[in-house]
Amino acid sequence: MVTESIRQVSVDVCQDHGMWLGPGKLELIKLRVFAKGSRKRAQRVEEAREEGRAEGRRF
């Protein structure tokens, strides 16, 4: 069994049995994955707005 880190959450990984998550860890990983995704989406929207301004479009 080795301890690895996914999104700063430590998980135990066993070669024979797979990954073991302690209480609440799956939720923690999901929250961090979601938080990262929404930041990226917000950034993409902002970039599209900047491009729109540069090209004289408004939205």
Which residues contribute to the site for Zn ion (CB under 5 A)?
Answer: 14, 16-17
**CB of residue 15 to Zn ion, shortest distance in Å:** 7
**CB of residue 17 to Zn ion, shortest distance in Å:** 4
14 versus 35: smaller Cβ distance to Zn ion: 14
Q: How many CA atoms lie within 13 A of 30 on its CB side?
A: 5
Residue written as token pair 């993409």: 44
Q: Where are the beta strands (DSSP E) in the chain?
A: 2-6, 9-14, 18-20
**CB of residue 10 to Zn ion, shortest distance in Å:** 16
